[in-house]
Structures are given as C-alpha cells and as structure tokens.
Amino acid sequence: MILLLMPLCSFSQYKEDVNSSTSYRRIITVAAGVTALSFLADNPVNNFNDKKRTPFLDNLTDVTQLPGDKYIAAPALLLCYTSARFTNNKTLQQTSLKSAQAFITASIATGAIKYSAGRARPSSTYSSNYFSPFKSGDEYRSLPSGHAATAFSILTPFAETYSKWLYTIPAATALSRCYKNEHWLSDVVTGSAIGFLSGYLLTHNKNIELIPSGLRLYF
C-alpha cells in the first residue's frame, strides 16, 4: 500500500507544480501584453489628464502617491515587521518579509531599466517616443515608474494574504503619478507589472527566494 501511495503522492505534487507553473506563465503573459498595449495610449491619456486637472484632484493625488515613496513605504514596512515580531504574529512576519524581498527585487529592476531606457518624462519638452539610453538626469528616468513598482511590490504580498481590496492602494498610486504628469501611462503600467510580479511570485512560488547574494531559484 505504501509503495502504491508514494507514486500517487509524487504525481499529485508534480500535477500541482505543473498547474502552478501554467498559472504563473499566464499571469506573466497577460502582464506583458497589457504593458505592451499601454504604450499605444500614452499620448491620448496624457492629453486627457491635461484637460481634467482640478485643485481637488491635485490635492488628492498628493496623498495617493505617498505609498509609492520609498522613503515612506520602507520605514512603514519595517515598522510593520517589528510590530509582527513584538506580537508574535507569524503570518504578518512572513508577509512582511516577502514584501521586503519583493520591494528590493522591484527596486533593482526599475533602477536598471530607468538608466538603460533613458525615457523622457511627459513634463519635459520631449515626446513619448524620446529615449536616450544611459543619459544622466532625473528628466530621463520616466520608464518605469518607481512609485508604482514600490507600491505594488510592497502591498501585493499583503493583498494576496489578507484582502484583494488592498490592491486599490497601489493602483491609486500608479494613477496619481500619471495624473501628475510625472510618467506616461506605459511607465506606470510597466512599474505596476514589475512590482506586482515581484510580490506575487515571491508570495506564491516557494522555489523563488531572495538572499543576500542574489536571487535563488529551486528546481
């Protein structure tokens, strides 16, 4: 009986791994497709925002963009983890650690892409098609949105663990950066995709782990 159960257990685990792998590929494919399509809407969305600016929305987006500020989000995450340790909340501890790993991963990815892409911000005098790779200056760091990546990477593990409603926070952050003319639509979609995928994969895929020396993949 034991000899019969062992292959069945192995097959069950194999089937689960295959299903998970298929799900991850599907999510990545959708994220890549949405990101690619978003480049087509850069100018229309930017023109729409220019016509819809109001004092109320200006003040509102001043607040909704804050979760993407790494100087606010990182200390808040550290405080969350410290509180979890103090109260011995194991679930919150693990979620906070996954969130921190996702944040670091997304930060490295966005930093590298920003520098290598050199895309001009919509607030500059250049068009959405202007790219100057490796050019210095914050004016050429539009793609991807660091605020969107930060907000999604930090909050995705919490949204997946506690409530999907938490996704409204990073979504609002991404939209606010576009509204404020700091990024093109494709910038915030790309940043959101990087942040979401970092948080989602590190939360659900036990074969991926961030360690001091790099990213560890188990096969």
Residue 11's pLDDT band (cuts 50, 70, 90) = very low
- Quote the CA–CA distance of 57 and 60 in Å, as a whole number: 5
What six digits make up the tokens of 42?
């850069």
Range of weakest confidence among 65-69, 146-150, 204-208, 213-217: 213-217
Asked whether the predicted pLDDT for residue 158 surpasses 90, the reply is yes
Domain assignments of the chain as residue spans, ordered by start? 29-214
What are the pLDDT digits (tens) for 167-188? Answer: 999 999 999 999 999 999 999 9
Beta-carbon contacts of 161 under 8 Å, excluding residues fewer than 6 positions away, are 91, 95, 203
Question: Of 215 and 198, which is predicted with more confidence?
Answer: 198
- Which residue has tokens 């792998």? 21
Residue 210 confidence (pLDDT):
61
What class does CATH assign to 29-214? mainly alpha
pLDDT of residue 98: 95
State both tokens at 55. Answer: 């004092």
pTM of structure? 0.88
